[in-house]
Amino acid sequence: MSKDFTHSLVILILTTVVVASFSLVVWVVPNIVRGDDIAKNSLAVPLTAIELAGRDIYISEGCHVCHTQMVRPLDPEIKRNGRPNQEADDIYEFPNLWGSKRTGPDLTNLARKYSDQWHVIHLINPRQVVPTSIMPSYPWLFEQTLTGDDISAKMEVLRTLGVPYTDQEIGDARLQVRGKTKGEALIRYLQSLGKDTSQEVSQ
Ligand code: HEC
């Protein structure tokens, strides 16, 4: 009985190992070797405690399902969304929120585009500021408040991953978040997007 390669477990395992090692060499190793360089050139600033709390709400409400944070280096995208993403921008992002579905606009460089008040109205009912909007309403964000109980622990974990939070920042975190509404925290996060990195003139 003749056997072709699709019937051989050995060949299957071998080829899987070869392909996986190739990806490792091409994608992972260079980033480990150049990690320090990337961090040195980065304009990224770690999120404050309240911005970090807002980021968690962004994730839990599924905003990243409709919004990307990934401006590609293509002319029409740069015209519409500003400076394209650079690899050094996301060194403090765990996990990254690049997203993949562009139902709504890209939010990479959102900071400064709207006032806080605009965001409040838009999150409570997007149709009030953009009549044709299909974005869902999130009125409860301004009714539910945060305790801030877990924020210091989250910052400590991020510190082990390389985000340079100081003891003082971690110590003060709970008070910064406690009693704020989810909406307030989310808006602080939205207003931080691209504030640190969009300064640089796009190349
Ligand atoms: C079902 C898809 C969908 C979801 C989920 C969604 N959005 Fe949107 N979003 C849109 C669409 C479509 C627009 C464009 C119309 C508008 O401005 O309302 C938009 C617009 C925006 C804008 C204005 C962007 C700009 O450049 O004008 C912001 C800010 C925003 N969304 C934030 C959020 C946040 C925060 C969440 C999570 C709480 C969220 N969106 C969830 C679809 C979505």
Query: Is 62 close to ligand 1, i.e. is its CB under 6 Å away?
Result: yes
Q: What percent of the chain has pLDDT over 90?
A: 79
Q: Is the CB of 139 under 6 A from ligand 1?
A: no
CA 157/CA 151 separation, integer angstroms: 10
The amino acid at 35? G
Nearest alpha carbon, ligand 1 atom 12: 104
Cβ atoms of 130 and 167 within 8 Å: the answer is no
Selected from 1.10.3720.10, 1.10.110.30, 1.10.510.10, 1.10.760.10, the CATH number assigned to the domain covering 42-201 reads: 1.10.760.10
User: Among 58, 59, 66, 69, which residue has the most ligand 1 atoms within 8 Å of its CB, making it the best to mutate?
Assistant: 66
Residues in the chain: 203
The torsion angles phi and psi of 145, rounded to 5 degrees, stand at -105, 160
Specify the pLDDT at position 1: 54
CA of 24 to the centre of ligand 1 (A): 36
Tell me if 186 sits within 8 A of 123, measured CB to CB.
Answer: yes
Q: What tens digit of pLDDT does each residue of 62-90 get? A: 999 999 999 999 999 999 999 999 888 99
- 145 pLDDT more than 70: yes
Cα gap 36→88, rounded to integer Å:
10
Atom from ligand 1 closest to the CA of residue 110: 26
Mean pLDDT, range 108-119, rounded to an integer: 95
Ligand 1 neighbour 56 (Cβ under 6 A) = no
Task: Quote the pTM value.
Answer: 0.87
**111 Cβ below 6 A of ligand 1:** no
Domain boundaries, the chain: 42-201
**CB of residue 137 inside a 6 A radius of ligand 1:** no
